[in-house]
Amino acid sequence: MGQRTPLYDQHLALGAKMVDFGGWDMPLHYGSQVEEHHQVRRDCGVFDVSHMTVVDVAGSQAQAYLQRLLANDVARLAQVGKALYSAMLNERGGVVDDLIVYLTQEGYRLVVNASTRDKDLAWLQAQTAGFDVRINERADLAMLAIQGPQARARIMDIVTQVRAALIQELKPFHGLAAGDWFIGRTGYTGEDGLEIMLPAEQAPDFFSELVGAGISPIGLGARDTLRLEAGLNLYGQDMNEDISPLAANMGWTIAWEPVERDFIGRSALQAQREHNEQPRLVGLVLEERGVLRAHQVVRVNGIGEGEITSGSFSPTLGKSIALARVPANTGERAEVEIRNKWYPVRVVKPTFVRHGKVLV
């Protein structure tokens, strides 16, 4: 038996097929993951993401601590509410985790992956040495993500006036506290939407209200196909501790300036940038029938080989897509080996759908 979120019983009551995810019993789908995927792109849906790890960082040197810890620069968060996406690197320049960090009234709030909780907490704690900073895991909070073009409007109709007013004004990639809730305009689907952190004991009633108002519950199966279409990485699959952010389509998240900011992994990353030919993470589209899957071999004529890191069927495109790590000078075509046969694929930028629009 894995860990359970406060919504476990409700998932079962809604007919969820449960699976293990990083030691948690989570809903894979409630009937059809393809239908749930379409629901999010066309309207909205609600995800239980309470398994994710929320960590508050406070203290007089919180900023300096995070400037050392993170490859992106929290000094860019100019006012309370702003958030950024960052890699957390080890000394070899490999990715320990990817996360979102918000500037809050009290300091900073980090949201890190569920599957890396223990490792991340140990790492975060170890790096506090020499800084006046405290980290505080918020295991008392549950988290719901409501995503899709109608998400914000639907939520505004349901929550208190004060929270609705906050949501109305909330800018993309910002998050603010509203009473004991924290509301972020962030997500993992490529659609507009909210991620709401709230006291665990309030989660069951709120989830009930959302489902009662006709907002579809969405499982992890659709969560994976949605994020893949949006070109968003999944830690442990698209990158890990042995992979550079430069080889994971995360180069844009590295804040090289100011040069004096010596974040963990900086020198290794600099050496990679100068000396190595790092592979690239690209998108693949299979025009024929079939499904691209993780670990399938990618062959680039005259150049070399690579590997699919994440692959699936894309309900929005009606064909299979993947993220793959390939030689840096790969062009626009490649081949993938699927069950002992080679299939041609198009190589594209690793974002397939944004705000419901197909980009490839």
Q: Which residues bind another protein (CB under 8 A)?
A: 28-29, 32-34, 221, 225, 289-291, 312-313, 339
Q: Do 69 and 57 meet the contact criterion of CB atoms below 8 Å apart?
A: no
SS3 16: coil
SS3 103: strand
Q: Do 310 and 350 meet the contact criterion of CB atoms below 8 Å apart?
A: no
Q: Specify the residue, 40 or 84, whose C-beta has the smaller distance to another protein.
A: 40
Residues in the chain: 360
Residue 169: exposure state from Cβ atoms within 10 A (0-12, 13-18, ≥19): exposed
Rounded least distance, CB 259 to another protein, Å: 46
Q: Specify the residue, 32 or 61, whose C-beta has the smaller distance to another protein.
A: 32
Rounded least distance, CB 320 to another protein, Å: 8
Q: Specify the residue, 15 or 179, whose C-beta has the smaller distance to another protein.
A: 15
Q: Specify the residue, 163 or 319, whose C-beta has the smaller distance to another protein.
A: 319
Cα–Cα distance for residue pair 338/34, rounded to 1 Å: 22
Q: Specify the residue, 275 or 289, whose C-beta has the smaller distance to another protein.
A: 289
SS3 258: coil
Rounded least distance, CB 286 to another protein, Å: 11
Q: Do 353 and 316 meet the contact criterion of CB atoms below 8 Å apart?
A: yes
The residues facing 283 across adjacent strands are: 323, 348
Q: Specify the residue, 212 or 318, whose C-beta has the smaller distance to another protein.
A: 318
Rounded least distance, CB 210 to another protein, Å: 24
Rounded least distance, CB 230 to another protein, Å: 17
DSSP line for 32-46: -HHHHHHHHHHS-EE
Rounded least distance, CB 345 to another protein, Å: 16
Measure Cα distances from 289 to 229, 299, 314 in Å.
Answer: 17, 19, 12
Q: Specify the residue, 10 or 33, whose C-beta has the smaller distance to another protein.
A: 33
Rounded least distance, CB 181 to another protein, Å: 34
Torsional sign, CA 163, 169, 172, 176: negative
